[in-house]
Amino acid sequence: MSDRPNILFLMADQMQARVLDPYHVCQTPYLDRLAGEGVRFTRAYTPNNICCPTRASLMTGLMPHNHGVLEVLYAGVPDLHALRTDKAHWAERLVASGYKTGYFGKWHIERENALERFGWQVNGVSGGALYKELVAEVLGDEPLQPECDPAHYLEEPHGYGPHLLYGVSDRPAEKRALGITTTLALRYLEEAVEGDDPWCTFVSFQEPHDPFITSREFYERYANEELPPPPNADDDLADRPGLYRRAQGIWSQLDEQQKHEARACYYASISEIDAQFGRVLDFLEGAGQLDNTIVVMCADHGDLLGAHGLFFKDISAFEEVYQVPLIVRGPGIAKDSICQGRVGLHDLCPTLLELADSEPIDVPDSRSFAGLLREPATVADEWTRGYAEYFGNRHRLTQRVVWDGPWKFVFNGFDFDELYQLDEDPYEMKNLAPDPAYDEQLKKMMRLYWRYARDTGDRPLVDTLYPALRLGAVGPLAADED
């Protein structure tokens, strides 16, 4: 048997980090146990607030402006926001160093679902051949998407058609997409644990992404519970970009009972995810391989879930979306620890390669946080800053996010900027950017962004010196000023 650790990657989609906070109403016993046996990061963030760009960043260690996937992929325009295939992926490096690899569930990184080209030897992607075979075995002629009752559809504005927001199904998880993904992964692991080679298994769920669909068994755990709205639910966004207030209008069609039911379905979905992750963890423990396995659990981004009067993600740069759950457990990793280091999902690429003693992917966009996993309480200055970027999604816009200690800055190329002091204002209710008293802090944050953009090659913005486009508080040539 190899002395290299195995790697298990557990990924949810659109899961809010705050559901893992102590005393949160959402029940996640397996993830709570995982955190107790490893390190939970409380300031982990996504480099982009939608699926495809983030997932490509996670695999390559690159920011979206370098890997090319800037929006959610759209099949109707095949050359739009295509993944730059000359960029290395960490699974390729693992294979080169002797790992066996298998990927199961949601991919959403490039259009062809050609996972074999990026280091995944067994392709169990949703909609792929292996996946379809298991769907037919489990469901026969039944559709994969179950009927829901109750179910609530968004109907407004007129002309967009109905969109299912949430629903309750009598079909258990094992006969829906997340359970089928888990079963496929377990079948792979049954063979992998018998071999002598180290393995890497990636289990990726679509849930709890909207529509928030859950089984009745799990829904009933929350339906009659107190599920208070977020503390910032009634934010009028008066001092934030006008686009945020415009988006707020979409959600005015929901009454308080519907919002409560949406939260109940969302939390129930996360509890179902927890149970599916538990199936995998229990199997590895029973096979005697859990203690030799690095387990990573994360989500690609969060969900506003009513915060600031908004749901889902896309429009706004609030913490409910950009802060993500991240737990890492395994050999050589501290136990029952909280780390406040600000790490990005793209930093997982160099981190996993260091932990696996594989050839690194050395790019300026990301850096290994393996040291934090060994000593999570030792957060040096280099782990107090973070950077993210958003290019819009169908509706194009420019947005960049910078964190520096308690400060958060949002550079909006479509409206006025945002500045928050998160220690004093964790729910981002007061935009300090318009206040002249914070002018120097605003300029400092802008300079930090220009420095990062220059160092990582975000040239379309760094090279933009044209007078009509000088929207920053200071320009890129001021990057190195104190």
Phi and psi at residue 2, to the nearest 5°: -70, 150
First-to-last C-alpha distance (Å) of the chain: 54
CA–CA distances in Å: residue 217 to residues 178, 269, 282, 330, 451 = 16, 11, 21, 32, 51
Rounded CA separation 54/72 (Å): 10
**3-class DSSP assignment, residue 244:** helix
Give residue-wise pLDDT tens across range 102-142: 999 999 999 999 999 999 999 999 999 999 999 999 999 99
CA atoms 106, 13, 95, 329: torsion sign: negative
Regions in the chain scoring below 70 on pLDDT:
1
What is the model's pLDDT at position 1?
57
The string of DSSP codes covering 69-111 is --SS--TTSTTTT---TTS--HHHHHHHTT-EEEEEE---SST
Give residue-wise pLDDT tens across range 284-321: 999 999 999 999 999 999 999 999 999 999 999 999 99
Name which of 313, 318, 307, 303 is nearest 229 in CA terms.
307
CA–CA distances in Å: residue 50 to residues 8, 46, 307, 394 = 23, 9, 17, 12
Instruction: Give, in degrees to the nearest 5, the angle at Cα 391 between 389 and 392.
Output: 125
CB atoms closer than 10 angstroms to residue 442: 23
Q: Which pair of tokens denotes residue 444?
A: 């400092």
What is the model's pLDDT at position 205?
98
Rounded CA separation 53/348 (Å): 15
Name which of 215, 210, 209, 188 is nearest 199 in CA terms.
188
The string of DSSP codes covering 360-414 is ----TT----HHHHHSTT---GGGSEEEEEEEEESEEEEEEEEEETTEEEEEETT
What is the model's pLDDT at position 473?
95
What is the model's pLDDT at position 136?
97
Domains of the chain listed by start with CATH number: 6-378 (3.40.720.10), 394-478 (3.30.1120.10)
